[in-house]
């Protein structure tokens, strides 16, 4: 018994000693490799290399779908604008709230959709009854068709802005807004008066009537699906807050003067 135990102890010690020694050597090699790696990583790197690295990281975002990625690679903030062509407050929204976001680059964080429909009721004969008359429906469809035919917001928004600038004389100016952008005015009016315009309008109607909560006025603004009600003039703050920090333009870090003195006595 004792003999066999001592043999087995010897065997174990005999087997353990070289293994222990080998692990010591391996450990030393490992430590040396880690130190080498740290030195290499911490050392000065050529600028070209790091530029290439960041290009590789950013490129997949840049080539991704326009709906999926903002400048810095984060998700775009969905902005839904429910309005109508002939309402002065919607004109104000376009000219004084949205246009400045295109000017200061905050619009690069947004995926904007203009649901041009607004305060429309069902007529007894099943047609739409527009708040400001039939012309409102026509120019709502102009705006919807602009988005259909020129889906990038940088392309269609200037048309919507031009319509807002000429809100009181659209009969003579709307087609000129299209040609001033190099578009074929016939494409927009043809869409607005045809099936495509009607389909786009029906989709805007469905979206408008599905709002939760229901809108109580226009312009009615949703940020990532959430209504901001009477705070629509502060849209920029909501968009900046919802956007990934890395993609925010400088304007996000400047508080508009209208908000600077709130709460002070």
**Closer residue to ligand NAG in complex, CB, 14/212:** 212
Closest approach of ligand NAG to the CB of residue 135, in Å = 20
Closest approach of ligand NAG to the CB of residue 144, in Å = 18
Determine if 212 is a binding residue for ligand NAG (CB under 6 A): no
Angle between helices 185-193 and 170-180 (to 10 degrees): 130
**Closer residue to ligand NAG in complex, CB, 129/167:** 129
Which are the contacts of 128, defined by CB distance < 8 A and separation ≥ 6? 120, 121, 122, 137, 201, 205
Closest approach of ligand NAG to the CB of residue 210, in Å = 8
Closest approach of ligand NAG to the CB of residue 126, in Å = 8
Burial of 265 (0-12, 13-18, 19+ CB in 10 A): exposed
Per CB under 6 A, contacts with ligand NAG among 179-208 are: none
**Closer residue to ligand NAG in complex, CB, 96/214:** 214
Closest approach of ligand NAG to the CB of residue 256, in Å = 35
Kindly state the number of chain residues that form the binding site for ligand NAG, as judged by CB under 6 A. 3
**Closer residue to ligand NAG in complex, CB, 82/157:** 82
Determine if 122 is a binding residue for ligand NAG (CB under 6 A): yes
* Residue in the block written with tokens 């050392």: 43
Identify which of 98, 119, 95, 124 has the alpha carbon closest to the alpha carbon of residue 109: 98
**Closer residue to ligand NAG in complex, CB, 87/164:** 87
Which are the contacts of 77, defined by CB distance < 8 A and separation ≥ 6? 70, 109, 110, 111, 223, 224, 238, 239, 242, 243
Per CB under 6 A, contacts with ligand NAG among 134-163 are: none
**Closer residue to ligand NAG in complex, CB, 5/210:** 210
Write the binding mask 102 to 121 for ligand NAG: x where contact by CB under 6 A, - elsewhere: -------------------x
Radius of gyration of the chain (CA): 31
Burial of 257 (0-12, 13-18, 19+ CB in 10 A): exposed
Residues 200, 208: Cα–Cα separation, whole Å: 12
- Contacting positions for ligand NAG (CB under 6 A): 121-122, 209
């Amino acid at each position: 018994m004792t003999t066999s135990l001592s043999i087995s102890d010897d065997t174990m010690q005999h087997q353990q000693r070289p293994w222990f020694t080998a692990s010591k050597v391996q450990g030393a090699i490992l430590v040396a490799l880690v130190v080498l790696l740290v030195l290499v990583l911490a050392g000065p790197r050529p600028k070209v290399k790091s530029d290439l690295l960041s290009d590789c990281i950013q490129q997949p975002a840049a080539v991704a779908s326009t709906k999926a990625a903002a400048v810095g690679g984060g998700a775009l903030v969905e902005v839904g604008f429910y309005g109508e062509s002939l309402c002065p407050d919607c004109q104000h929204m376009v000219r004084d709230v949205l246009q400045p976001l295109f000017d200061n680059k905050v619009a690069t964080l947004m995926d904007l959709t203009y649901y041009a429909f607004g305060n429309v009721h069902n007529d007894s004969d099943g047609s739409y009854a527009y708040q400001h008359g039939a012309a409102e429906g026509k120019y709502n469809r102009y705006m919807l068709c602009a988005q259909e035919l020129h889906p990038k917001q940088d392309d269609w928004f200037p048309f919507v802005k031009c319509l807002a600038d000429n809100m009181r004389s659209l009969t003579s100016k709307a087609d000129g807004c299209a040609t001033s952008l190099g578009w074929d005015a016939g494409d927009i009016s043809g869409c607005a008066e045809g099936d495509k315009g009607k389909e786009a309008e029906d989709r805007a109607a469905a979206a408008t009537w599905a709002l939760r909560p229901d809108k109580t006025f226009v312009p009615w603004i949703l940020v990532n699906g959430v209504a901001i009600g009477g705070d629509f003039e502060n849209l920029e703050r909501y968009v900046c807050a919802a956007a990934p920090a890395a993609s925010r333009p400088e304007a996000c870090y400047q508080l508009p003067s209208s908000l600077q003195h709130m709460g002070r006595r």
